[in-house]
Structure 1
Amino acid sequence: MLQQLERVKAKWGGKSETVDNWLLARQRLLVSYCALAGLNTHNSSLPEANDISEFCENLMDYLSTGHFEVFDMLVDNDENGQALKHRLYPKLTQTTDAALEFNDKFAEAVTIEQAEHFDSALANLGETLEERFGFEDELIEHMYASDAASQVTHRVPQ
């Protein structure tokens, strides 16, 4: 996931401050995810509550930014944009629901019963996030493809 993020940043970074900030938030989320996953693979105990809480905060911040600040900016209301919204938004909603479920289970406190399912829940969330990032990257690509197309069609001949 981090390699994919680096490719996206290399391709689209520097073109929009909003997208750049969002990708930085994705990086923070991935770093905290990797820290949790890494802690858990080297140690049979549950990660510290602070680490889980920090990850959940990063997760909620990232999801909120996407839904409330970025998604609509990335997709025009033209026919192609509407088709993309129709195809991707339900999938993004499913990934949001899965992330919210994880947050609801683990953000505040982890019971002994929950602890035994933490590893698998974290792994499932990682797969969900990877899928989500792919959808988001499609939205980013659409925005820049639409911008490039509009610049070509609106260019005044010299």
Structure 2
Amino acid sequence: MAHQVSASTLRRVLNIWPPFLFAGIRVRALSADYHHARVELRQHWYNRNFVGTHFGGSLFAMTDPFWMIMTMQALGSGYIVWDKAADIEFVKPGRGAVAAEFQLDDDVLALIRDATADGGKYLHWFATDVIDGEGDVVARIRKQVYVRRKPPRDGNG
């Protein structure tokens, strides 16, 4: 069961959450309305792979929960939201600091609300690029989010 939580609290919690903390992932921004987030990953000895570039799992992890969390929090408690599928394309070796930005637009939220108004499920694909310090794409990540309206309570329990 998801709970509404302030974005500032969630940002602080995510920054000490072990999968992020021990990978060197930092949530730098999370807007109060859950429409925007910025996540960074700095390269350290403990998050390099065998050939000295960013570990692919860390590149994926830095993007993993955001579309689901942002969608869930922006829609509110009347919706069930889950991650359904994901894929990642490694475009070039990642070195140094990399970042990912997430922008959840009102038109996407309206599309989701319309598509689930009758109680049916809706699957939406979101895309995020991980960018290096020179502005080059290091990885492209796609996440599919499952959304369904919660059934109305009948008042009997």
Measured against the shorter chain, the TM-score band is under 0.3
Larger RCO (CA within 8 A; separation ≥ 6): 1
Q: TM-score, normalised by structure 1?
A: 0.24
Larger proportion of helix: 1
